[in-house]
Amino acid sequence: MKKNYFLLIGLILIVLVILWLNPIEIIKDLQEANVYYILLACLIHLFIICLRALRWGFIINQTYKIKNNFIVKTISLFAGNFTPMKAGGEVLSGMAGAEINKISLSKGLSAAITERFFDLVVTSCLLLVSTFFTPQPFTLIPLIGGILNTIVVLFIFLLNWREETGLWFLDKIQKLLLKLRFNSKKVDSINENFQNGLKNMVSHSISFINFKNFIILLVVSLISWLFECFRLYILFKAFNFELSFVVIIVLYLLSNMIGVISLIPGGIGSIELSQIALFSLFNVPKTLAGTIALTDRFITFGIVNILGIIFSAMYAKDILKEVKKMF
């Protein structure tokens, strides 16, 4: 139920944003936009999904299974759109990988967490580097964002590549649950299952990562995120507003981070509001800022959700049921 409340809050925020911006003005901006640039933005997003599918296939050693990898990645992105912090994407990646790629669940979860790790490494680096190119008085914004991302990177590293840290964390959770008077047998059973899963997951992560693989994943993740920012840059072009690519990198990454922190599924509403506020700092008119933010959301949400529903229904009906439980 709590997930439903958060999702409802996000949808209400979207409606309020549209009403606040004035729907007539939004329609006017859309009518004046360059349709070809918007179509290009859609193609760029499809290319981004392909890049993420390529990365997934590389991690699980099934790069050649392009179709399966694309389906798994689309389903996981679809699930992430409806869960707080997009955390459902990792879980559904593991489930979809087990169903479609025929890998173990622990290997799928390991691959999904590895993906999240490299995404955060890249976004942290981009934010920290952008600090040197961001005009005053905004240099502190990407610096804080980069530091926060780096902290999360460290946590994921300790969880996914350091078995003793993960086991220590599980032990603390077990003790907490026992203090809260949960059934000791059930707690012990769950803890044992989690420990076995964690050991398998860490084993997969350690066996995969070497210097060559690290560099390949870093490069693919960097290209993927730069194209995410380039999509937004193209949308600014579509609405005939000039903003430097470096500034767009900072604004896009920060708005996504705010969307994750908000705990609203998929950052619905929170990302759009934060983008409007951040764009306005660089003299983008309020209505135009909102129109660009909503258009970008429509492209990213629309493509992933439509394909996600189709692929889930065709190839993984059990997974679609899991996604429905998120509502």
| Domain assignment present for 98 | yes
- 279-306 pLDDT tens trace: 988 899 999 999 999 999 999 988 998 8
Tell me what pLDDT residue 87 has: 63
Tell me what pLDDT residue 223 has: 96
Tell me what pLDDT residue 204 has: 77
| Domain assignment present for 6 | yes
Q: What is the pTM of this model?
A: 0.85
DSSP strands (E only) in 224-282? none
Please check whether residue 290 is in contact with residue 32, taking contact to mean a CB–CB distance below 8 angstroms.
no
- 111-122 pLDDT tens trace: 888 998 999 999
| Domain assignment present for 80 | yes
| Domain assignment present for 241 | yes
* Per-residue tokens: 183: 């059934």
Q: Distances in Å between the alpha carbon of 29 and those of 33, 80, 115?
A: 6, 30, 37
Average pLDDT, the chain: 84
| Domain assignment present for 116 | yes
Does the bond joining 142 to the residue before it have cis omega, within 30 degrees of 0?
no
Q: State how many domains the chain has.
A: 1
* Separation between Cα atoms, residue 63 and residue 153, nearest integer Å: 25
* Stretch 304-314: mean pLDDT: 85
pLDDT reading at 33 higher than 70: yes
Residue 194: pLDDT band by 50, 70, 90 thresholds? Answer: low
What range defines the domain where residue 46 resides? 2-13+31-146+211-324
Residue 217: pLDDT band by 50, 70, 90 thresholds? Answer: very high
Specify the higher pLDDT residue, 19 or 36: 36
Residue 1: pLDDT band by 50, 70, 90 thresholds? Answer: very low
| Domain assignment present for 20 | no
